[in-house]
Amino acid sequence: MQVVVLAGGLGSRIAEESSLRPKPMIEIGGRPILWHILKIYAHHGFREFIICLGYKGYMIKEYFMNFFLHHSDVTIDTAANQVVYHQTASEPWRVTLIDTGEATLTGGRLRRVRQFMTEDTFGLTYGDGLADLDLRACLAFHRAHGKLATLTAVIPPGRYGAVDLEGDRVLRFVEKPPGDQAYINGGFFILNRAVIDRIEGDATSLEAHVLPALARDKELQAYRHRGFWYAMDTLRDRNHLEDLWRSGRAPWKAWS
């Protein structure tokens, strides 16, 4: 299964970092969050990616064009114009990088890469979210229900610690409990290519236009995920993910 990654947005809520690089290139543990996302998919056997570029997309192109350089030690012989790579860290990926425009909305970006798709069913995700999701189980769920689209429904983590009360007496403090138990769109989709027929053009939003229409037509199902999920929207989010990685407690790291 091919996987489309939406990686062209401005990332304005994390402008401290995105003013310098596209949001998917913001690093967690010294690697772009985009690398982490691709590692999650590859762990489940999905290794062919189509990445929708936009804002500062040339930086994502440069990263993959020089992937060996970024992930290897090197000896550079300037006199002989030779480079010898040491301790190379290759990945068995096939990555297609497509400029889908800076102002194009999410649905429009998907429409622009249709010609590069080779299968009737594909994955879709954003370039800023991590999860310990069982992607093969999600794909099996999609194939079983027979509808056009599956989204992953998650309960987001709470943003603040909570106080557990009994009357006016404080019983305990709870560190960032889940939110109000309402499910939200977790951003990991399995879609049939027919969904793209519903996208009119660059100004079509996946979230505002396509998904609501699919829901009205009873063509959208939800795969519930109660495990780890986290979206990197702000610098605070980035720092939280960095802390998890450095402490060795990164739940999304299923690979060895």
Q: Is the pLDDT of residue 108 over 80?
A: yes
Distances (CA, A) of 164 to 32, 138, 231: 38, 35, 26
Confidence of residue 87 (pLDDT cuts 50, 70, 90): confident
Confidence of residue 160 (pLDDT cuts 50, 70, 90): low
pTM of the model: 0.91
Q: Is the pLDDT of residue 179 over 60?
A: no
Q: In whole angstroms, what is the distance from residue 212 CA to residue 111 CA? A: 17
Tokens representing residue 148 in the block: 């056009």
Confidence of residue 131 (pLDDT cuts 50, 70, 90): very high
Q: How many Å separate Cα 238 from the centre of its chain?
A: 14
Residues with Cβ within 8 Å of 185's Cβ and at least 6 positions away in sequence, in order, are: 151, 152, 153, 207, 211
Phi/psi for 208 (5° steps) reads -90, -25
Predicted local confidence at residue 169, as pLDDT: 77
User: To which H or E segment does residue 2 belong?
Assistant: strand 2-7
- For 2-154+181-246, which CATH class? alpha beta
Tokens representing residue 256 in the block: 């060895």
What are the domain boundaries of the chain?
2-154+181-246
- For residue range 30-71, list pLDDT tens digits in order: 999 999 999 999 999 999 999 999 999 999 999 999 998 888
Give the side-chain half-sphere CA count within 13 A for 61.
11
Q: Is the pLDDT of residue 165 over 80?
A: no
Q: Is the pLDDT of residue 19 over 70?
A: yes
